[in-house]
């Protein structure tokens, strides 16, 4: 077969332009492709909810790829083991209540589950602002290419409309801080010291709608609440993503 380079390029441009146009309006926009964002996206997609995951980096997976100190293994506690089973992630019991899994397999299977559920991914995309209109709720995201931000270029952005935004951006709590910076009553307290037991125990309580139309999940939820950090144990991330998906689905009546 004599391949035509222009046909290849045209296929990519046309298909991704079609997807971008289709997702200019959606039910849920998830910002951040770490464990909580991936789990949330997969579970929302399975409910037939139109959602996209927006990731500023080239790769999906957030901090999960590196495991602990670049050892590609993660730990999940007993309460979250069912989610490893749910997504077909293999694990070994290290000690009673402590289960060790491959970080590479975990990211891959969570990503595959989200893809299979119909979730669209927009990587290398940065959220630089939010859209709030007369009803006072977050109703859209202002996006630009991550390389534009990195280069400090002045390039006007696009806007995506959504019924709900889920901030899954981890320690930085990017979307929550954008809302905070507008002079709202929202205050992002920032994460506390390392205390895995406390952080994992309280993360579900912190996974909530912090501003009309904006839900926080994963480490972003703990950062907003001023909660402790937990290191390379990821059960709370998965449970938080699951809880956020259920919360938003309920709000949407789905």
Residue 126, beta-bridge partner list: 144
For residues 202 and 251, what is the distance between their CA atoms, to the nearest angstrom? 22
H or E element that contains 39? helix 35-46
Instruction: Detail the residues annotated as belonging to a binding site for NAD(+).
Output: 36, 55-56, 63, 127, 154-156, 219
For residues 176 and 222, what is the distance between their CA atoms, to the nearest angstrom? 12
Instruction: Detail the residues annotated as belonging to a binding site.
Output: 36, 55-56, 63, 127, 154-156, 171, 219, 229
Distance set, CA 93 to CA 89, 90, 220 (Å)? 13, 10, 28
Instruction: Detail the residues annotated as belonging to a binding site for glycine.
Output: 229
For residues 115 and 106, what is the distance between their CA atoms, to the nearest angstrom? 14
Query: Which one, of 21, 238, 6, lies nearest residue 110 by Cα?
Result: 238
DSSP string, 110-149: HHHHHHHTT-EEE-SEEEEEEEE-TT-SEEEEEEEEHHHH
Query: Which one, of 144, 146, 115, 148, lies nearest residue 41 by Cα?
Result: 115
Instruction: Detail the residues annotated as belonging to a binding site for Fe cation.
Output: 156, 171
């Amino acid at each position: 077969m004599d391949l035509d380079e222009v046909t290849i390029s045209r296929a990519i441009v046309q298909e991704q332009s079609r997807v971008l146009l289709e997702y200019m309006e959606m039910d849920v926009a998830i910002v951040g492709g770490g464990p909580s964002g991936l789990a949330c996206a997969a579970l929302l997609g399975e409910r037939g909810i139109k959602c996209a995951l927006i990731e500023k980096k080239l790769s999906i997976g957030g901090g999960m790829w590196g495991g602990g100190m670049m050892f590609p293994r993660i730990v999940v506690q007993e309460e979250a083991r069912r989610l490893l089973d749910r997504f077909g992630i293999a694990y070994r019991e290290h000690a009673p209540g402590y289960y060790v899994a491959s970080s590479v397999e975990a990211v891959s299977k969570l990503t595959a589950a989200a893809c299979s559920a119909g979730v669209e991914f927009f990587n290398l995309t940065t959220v630089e602002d939010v859209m709030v209109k007369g009803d006072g709720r977050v109703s859209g995201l202002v996006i630009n290419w991550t390389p534009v931000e990195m280069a400090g270029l002045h390039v006007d952005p696009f806007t995506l409309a959504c019924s709900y935004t889920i901030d899954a951006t981890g320690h930085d709590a990017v979307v929550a801080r954008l809302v905070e910076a507008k002079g709202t009553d929202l205050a992002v307290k920032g994460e506390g010291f390392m205390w895995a037991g406390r952080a994992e125990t309280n993360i579900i309580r912190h996974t909530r709608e912090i501003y009309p139309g904006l839900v926080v999940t994963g480490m972003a939820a703990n950062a907003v609440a001023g909660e402790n950090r937990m290191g390379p144990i990821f059960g709370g991330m998965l449970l938080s993503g699951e809880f956020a998906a259920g919360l938003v689905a309920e709000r949407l009546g789905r």
